[in-house]
A and B are shown apart, each in its own frame.
Chain A
């Protein structure tokens, strides 16, 4: 009876040792496969064509239809317009970057694709009122570098 137990135990030990060695073979194999991580600040992955970064605007294309303001789930867009010799002109287009959830609904709903999402993803600010952006002034995203692939 004891011999059967010893045989069974040694069989388990051998199978166990063999499975441990198989595990070691995998890690050794991976040891020689070249590493694939990016050294982030030096190497950056260019963003794909459809990447949704910060919201941006071509002011001339906008026909002030308020579709984007209506569709935004977190209400971070706000437009004010005034009537000037029978033509509507945008007086103010505020974008609250802090609330934005980068869902891309405004970009899809805009009939003239005036509002679109650019490729900036490294967004950090020191004080909160930096997050309230006026989309009309062209130099709004200077401090965050643009990593678009174009």
Chain B
């Protein structure tokens, strides 16, 4: 609409405040939208509502005492956070852990990845308007994983299961039958989602070619995880910088074509299938041994610095730990994937409609606990 025609029409952009209390901002995120009718002209994000300054807390906690805090970072995938932090501290202490502990950690992390992706898919469908039905299906499946974790470590959301050098408990007796039953159940359910959502025309119309994230822009914004793979970059830490026992397990990395919201959803759906495969193999190859470890001893690492990143369901979670020989870390920097994934949002949204910003936000799968730390 070039300006010559609109001389007489006095259109005025109005500012709308989407958040921090809004049904589809996935937590406490405030987006300031400058709207021209339905078209978004400009969007600025205000974060920090959930800032608990974890890094300052870490400087007054010993290495073992900080483990429950990592649950509260990405509270939907707290097993992966525990694993990321605990592996960083083990690298600092260059501590070797038993094989069985490695396999248990892989099983727990992959199951938690499935639970986290289920929430991402359920809330994405809810944001697109499929009110509550896909969300309840995803929560019904996630409930089965939560029961398994409840038996393994005693808590349903903030597990605090991993320790420096191993895990808290060994797997209970009948748990592998339960996991096998869950894997068979979950495979049929994921095919249901394909029928219900993936190729549904309204769903396609709403999410195809919306929020196109080109490959170089994604890398430039250091977006990571399923959002990066959906843009066509084949980069997954479990394959490219293998840790724990991932190089022994055989699985492939789903990659999207043109990085739109539908591709991000599809990559997450495929990753659930891959994680099921990983859990199955890891369960089969579970060695004997004692993965548990005592926590009475206070670890005092020699003064040094390490940076370690692991593949979180939302992206690459990095821990930069600087120790000065005392029992407390001198500085602990948490590199959170949602922080960089959210930075892309204002760029993707220019010129789209309100319904699209909700769709892109849902597909980026942001989690404010992790963004604000």
Contact = CB atoms under 8 A, between A and B. Distances in A.
Is chain B in direct contact with chain A in the complex (CB below 8 A)? yes
B71 to A, nearest CB: 8
B140 A52 contact: no
Contacts of B154: 48, 50-52, 104, 117
Interface in A83-105: 101-105
B160 interface: yes
A26 B197 CA distance: 10
Interface in B181-196: 192, 195-196
Interface stretch (B113-121, B199-207, B264-272, B336-344): B199-207
Given A30-B137, A73-B61, A104-B168, A22 B199 contact: yes
Interface string A18-52: 01101101110010000010000000000111111
Nearest to B152: A50
Nearest to A27: B133
A108 interface: yes
Interface residues of B, number: 34
Given A22-B199, A36-B140, A109-B296, A71 B64 contact: yes
A19 B64 contact: no
A77 to B, nearest CB: 13
A19 B205 CA distance: 12
Contacts of A9: none
A105 B293 CA distance: 12
B199 A102 contact: no
A64 B65 CA distance: 20
B69 A73 contact: yes
Contacts of A19: 199-201
A16 B150 contact: no
A48 B151 contact: yes
B285 interface: no
Contacts of A15: 201
A67 interface: yes
Given A19-B200, A71-B65, A103-B160, A108 B195 contact: no
Interface residues of A, number: 32
A67 B169 CA distance: 19
Nearest to B192: A26
B237 interface: no
A49 B174 CA distance: 13
Contacts, number: 81
B295 interface: yes
Chain B CB count within 10 A is highest, among A12, A23, A52, A117, for A23
Interface string B272-312: 00000000000000000000001110000000000000000
A78 B295 CA distance: 19
A22 B295 contact: no
A19 B208 CA distance: 15
B23 interface: no
Contacts of B140: 36
Nearest to A75: B65
B68 A105 contact: yes
Contacts of B296: 67, 71, 109, 111
Chain A CB count within 10 A is highest, among B133, B143, B195, B200, for B195
A52 B151 CA distance: 11
B66 interface: yes
A49 B199 contact: no
25 contacts: A16-B201, A17-B201, A20-B200, A22-B200, A23-B196, A23-B197, A27-B133, A27-B196, A36-B140, A36-B143, A49-B151, A50-B152, A71-B65, A71-B296, A72-B65, A73-B61, A73-B68, A101-B68, A101-B158, A102-B158, A103-B68, A104-B160, A105-B65, A105-B160, A108-B295
Interface of A: 12, 15-17, 19-20, 22-23, 25-27, 30, 36, 47-52, 67, 71-73, 101-105, 108-109, 111, 117
Given A20-B200, A52-B155, 4 more contacts: A47-B150, A50-B169, A51-B154, A108-B168
